[in-house]
Amino acid sequence: LAKTTQPISMDSYEGQEVNITCSHNNIATNDYITWYQQFPSQGPRFIIQGYKTKVTNEVASLFIPADRKSSTLSLPRVSLSDTAVYYCLGFEGGGFKTIFGAGTRLFVKA
Protein backbone atom coordinates (compact mmCIF):
# COMPACT_ATOMS: atom_id res chain seq x y z
CA LEU A 1 0.00 0.00 0.00
CA ALA A 2 1.49 3.29 -1.13
CA LYS A 3 1.61 5.72 1.77
CA THR A 4 2.97 9.18 2.33
CA THR A 5 4.21 10.69 5.57
CA GLN A 6 4.37 14.42 6.18
CA PRO A 7 4.64 16.64 9.26
CA ILE A 8 1.17 17.42 10.60
CA SER A 9 1.79 21.15 10.90
CA MET A 10 4.39 23.86 10.45
CA ASP A 11 4.59 27.50 11.43
CA SER A 12 6.49 30.18 9.58
CA TYR A 13 6.74 33.94 9.24
CA GLU A 14 6.18 36.09 6.23
CA GLY A 15 9.20 36.31 3.94
CA GLN A 16 10.76 33.05 5.09
CA GLU A 17 11.43 30.01 2.94
CA VAL A 18 9.41 26.97 3.93
CA ASN A 19 10.44 23.40 3.17
CA ILE A 20 7.96 20.56 3.62
CA THR A 21 9.31 17.04 3.28
CA CYS A 22 7.23 14.01 2.41
CA SER A 23 8.34 10.40 2.51
CA HIS A 24 6.88 7.93 0.01
CA ASN A 25 8.82 4.72 0.40
CA ASN A 26 6.59 2.63 -1.87
CA ILE A 27 6.34 4.93 -4.83
CA ALA A 28 6.28 3.00 -8.09
CA THR A 29 8.98 3.39 -10.71
CA ASN A 30 6.72 5.13 -13.19
CA ASP A 31 4.84 7.34 -10.73
CA TYR A 32 5.29 11.08 -10.55
CA ILE A 33 5.41 12.95 -7.25
CA THR A 34 2.68 15.53 -6.99
CA TRP A 35 1.88 18.23 -4.48
CA TYR A 36 -1.43 19.98 -3.91
CA GLN A 37 -2.50 22.99 -1.85
CA GLN A 38 -5.87 23.37 -0.19
CA PHE A 39 -7.40 26.50 1.29
CA PRO A 40 -10.37 26.28 3.69
CA SER A 41 -13.68 25.56 1.97
CA GLN A 42 -12.01 24.96 -1.39
CA GLY A 43 -10.95 21.92 -3.35
CA PRO A 44 -7.23 21.13 -3.60
CA ARG A 45 -5.19 22.95 -6.22
CA PHE A 46 -2.26 21.47 -8.12
CA ILE A 47 1.06 23.07 -7.21
CA ILE A 48 3.88 21.12 -8.76
CA GLN A 49 4.88 17.72 -10.05
CA GLY A 50 8.18 16.02 -10.70
CA TYR A 51 9.85 12.70 -11.33
CA LYS A 52 13.42 13.25 -10.18
CA THR A 53 16.01 15.91 -9.31
CA LYS A 54 14.54 19.40 -9.23
CA VAL A 55 11.52 21.10 -10.72
CA THR A 56 10.70 24.78 -10.37
CA ASN A 57 7.69 26.79 -11.38
CA GLU A 58 6.35 30.22 -10.51
CA VAL A 59 4.94 28.98 -7.23
CA ALA A 60 7.38 26.49 -5.75
CA SER A 61 10.34 24.18 -6.21
CA LEU A 62 10.33 20.45 -5.78
CA PHE A 63 13.45 18.54 -4.81
CA ILE A 64 13.57 14.78 -5.32
CA PRO A 65 16.59 12.69 -4.34
CA ALA A 66 17.89 9.93 -6.55
CA ASP A 67 16.13 7.15 -4.61
CA ARG A 68 12.78 9.01 -4.93
CA LYS A 69 11.69 7.83 -1.52
CA SER A 70 11.06 11.37 -0.40
CA SER A 71 10.47 14.81 -1.82
CA THR A 72 10.70 18.34 -0.49
CA LEU A 73 8.37 21.13 -1.46
CA SER A 74 10.05 24.51 -1.14
CA LEU A 75 8.00 27.70 -0.93
CA PRO A 76 10.18 30.79 -1.28
CA ARG A 77 9.33 33.90 0.74
CA VAL A 78 5.94 32.81 2.03
CA SER A 79 3.15 35.29 2.63
CA LEU A 80 0.05 35.15 4.80
CA SER A 81 -1.91 33.87 1.80
CA ASP A 82 0.22 30.72 1.70
CA THR A 83 -1.48 29.53 4.88
CA ALA A 84 -3.06 26.28 3.73
CA VAL A 85 -2.80 22.52 3.88
CA TYR A 86 -0.21 20.97 1.58
CA TYR A 87 -0.54 17.39 0.39
CA CYS A 88 1.93 15.16 -1.34
CA LEU A 89 0.32 12.33 -3.19
CA GLY A 90 0.93 8.64 -2.83
CA PHE A 91 -0.16 6.24 -5.51
CA GLU A 92 -1.65 2.79 -5.42
CA GLY A 93 -2.52 0.46 -8.22
CA GLY A 94 -0.45 2.10 -10.90
CA GLY A 95 -1.45 5.60 -9.98
CA PHE A 96 -5.20 5.27 -10.39
CA LYS A 97 -6.13 5.00 -6.73
CA THR A 98 -4.35 8.11 -5.59
CA ILE A 99 -4.07 8.59 -1.88
CA PHE A 100 -4.06 11.90 -0.08
CA GLY A 101 -2.42 11.74 3.30
CA ALA A 102 -3.38 13.99 6.18
CA GLY A 103 -1.33 16.80 4.67
CA THR A 104 0.78 19.47 6.35
CA ARG A 105 -1.03 22.44 7.78
CA LEU A 106 1.18 25.49 7.17
CA PHE A 107 0.42 28.59 9.20
CA VAL A 108 2.20 31.77 8.12
CA LYS A 109 2.37 34.53 10.71
CA ALA A 110 2.92 38.23 10.18
Partner 1 sequence: GAGVSQSPSNKVTEKGKDVELRCDPISGHTALYWYRQSLGQGLEFLIYFQGNSAPDKSGLPSDRFSAERTGGSVSTLTIQRTQQEDSAVYLCASSLEGGLTEAFFGQGTRLTVV
Shortest Å distance, C-beta 55 to partner 1: 13
Shortest Å distance, C-beta 24 to partner 1: 14
Decide: is 42 part of the binding site for partner 1 (CB under 8 A). yes
Decide: is 89 part of the binding site for partner 1 (CB under 8 A). yes
State how beta strands 33-38 and 45-50 pair: antiparallel
Decide: is 101 part of the binding site for partner 1 (CB under 8 A). yes
Decide: is 80 part of the binding site for partner 1 (CB under 8 A). no
Shortest Å distance, C-beta 95 to partner 1: 4
Number of Cβ within 10 Å of residue 89's Cβ equals: 23
Shortest Å distance, C-beta 3 to partner 1: 12
Q: Could you tell me which stretch among 16-24, 36-44, 58-66, 72-80 binds partner 1 (CB under 8 A)?
A: 36-44
Task: Tell me the three state secondary structure of residue 32.
Answer: coil
> Which 46-75 residues touch partner 1, going by CB under 8 A?
46, 49
| Pick from 22, 5, 23, 10: nearest CA to 78 | 10
Check: CB of residue 95 under 8 Å from CB of residue 1: no
